[in-house]
Structure 1
Amino acid sequence: MRSDANGGGSGTDGDRPSRSRGATAPGPAFWGLWLSLLTAVALANAASEVTEAARLGDPIEAWKPYVWEATSALGVLTALPGLVWFVRRAPLARRKLAKQVALHAAAALVFSAVHIAVMIVLREAIYALAGEPYSFDPWVPELIYELRKDLAAYLLIVVILNLMRSAGWLAADRPQSAVGAGRRKPSPECPDGSCTLPPQQSLVLPDGTRRLQVDPRSLLAAKAAGNYVELLREGAAPLLVRATLTEVETAARPFGFLRIHRSWIVAGDRVRHIASTRAGDFRALLDCGLAIPGSRRYRSSLAALLRRKAPLCREANPSLPD
């Protein structure tokens, strides 16, 4: 079938957040980068199609491949904001793989539907202006052809967006949690609306060039994650801040947090037991059922805390597997 029908697609049609967790949507530089990338790929693909057609002795009107590639790129660009929104709220992770596969399968279908719809509408309009008909027939083979390309393009774009997110080039988005009684409205220092205490009683953490205000009562533990720290909160999704664990530990220490591992700090008043592991380390068992790994060098300080809290808390005898 000639490319008028299948309209070869553009080569790109197809823990971690940005430097500023409270940042708004990506700015002009971000979109300019993607526009430039899609434009470059579309031009290269169109030129290749013209050259290949001439080489095979089946020349085509030169403007058509450029229309096919440009409309395909515009279809991707139209679908891209929704894909950016999705990646900001649901980045790739190793947890809940089945759920992630289902979510990304649905998102890929939406991405492909938007891409194909925009592509067809634009091509029909441009061909009409040129006085020629445009046909997407036969529909089923053409949809399968475009869907196959779009799935590959979707995976590539999602990987790139997640890498940009990890590198701090794409602002992470946080869903607005329900605002309960007495909960403060979102503010520049509390962008997710999670603060329920006045500023002087809130935990203020560094987050790149910003300061993030967190309710210490909701914080269970914090884990080092590369250039970020993952905050585990009760009743809320984990929160990533651009800081070191030492910085978070220093800020959280007045609220009863202590280091139990080179990669973990924990809310001391939430620890109920210490359970040994066969390797000689331990697990700190929290009142909510969460088990946080601890190393032997930090065991004494946590054990001392639990002794001060006795008889409610005591060191547990049973050992946990490594």
Structure 2
Amino acid sequence: MGNNGGMESGDPAALPVPAAERPHRPGLTAVFWAVLFLGTAVANVLVKWMRALRDGEAFPAGATSIEEFSSAFASLGLVALLHAAARRWPLHADTWRRRIGLYVLGGIAWWLLHVSAMVLLRKLAFAVIGQHYTYGDWPAQWFYEFFKDVQTYSLLVVAVHAVAWFGRQRQGEAHLLAPPDDGPPVEPVERPQHFLVRKLGKEFLVATGDVEYAQAAGNYVNLRVRGHDYPLRITMAVLEQRLDPAVFLRPHRSWLIHRGQLRSIEPLDGGEALLHMADGAKVPCSRRQLPLLRQALAGS
């Protein structure tokens, strides 16, 4: 592989690479939701304490804290599932009509799972302090939570997709260059040398050769270019046909990589492998594709 080679298939540390960078920064997202839900729980406890203080009533600090934080922790677990669903089934102008029913069912599932997890956490916590917890009468108490949970779920769905939309606008969305209205195309449209990227109202070109790797994400394929992800509305199979097979390799059904960005191959048990990229990312390689990948690399 020339200067980009130096690759030891049995020694992934042959060339040191920086720490892996996750395109969606799940760590920051988890911190945000933890601060939001746990901060809300703290605020609710303080409000109830101040209300009891104002009315001259006793304040059961332990029971109140358990009730608020159990709801917060149950929501934290579910919001991770919501993020996964939003990435798998994103709502766009051309998809929301056929997917909105899925999110409606998701609201019912959120309610049932949230209440079940919340009650279980409360029973466990109260048992630890030597008390017994009773949630309330069915169905009144459950449907009381239903309206609150559906409202919370709806706001979270809007928030998650709004953040995803803003992220796409900030990072930019890529498009294949269309043939011009008049005259011959500047470059072959079927195998473009550039992608047209729209970012915060501006347009610029990204060279195909600058794409380090690509990952399928629902209706999109995320193109990784110099630390940024540019969603391209295309299937992975079509993108593979558009890119030069001498430059881009398909190690996995959901991934394409630029061979010049590959630094090492780490074999795994079962015949699969992890591909260590120049930016520190780890790309999976399937057992079926690994021999083909090595054959392609050997041919270079």
Query: Could you state the TM-score of these two structures normalised by the residue count of structure 2?
Result: 0.50
Structure possessing the higher radius of gyration over alpha carbons: 1
Query: Could you state the TM-score of these two structures normalised by the residue count of structure 1?
Result: 0.47
Q: Which has the bigger relative contact order, CA under 8 A and spacing at least 6?
A: 2
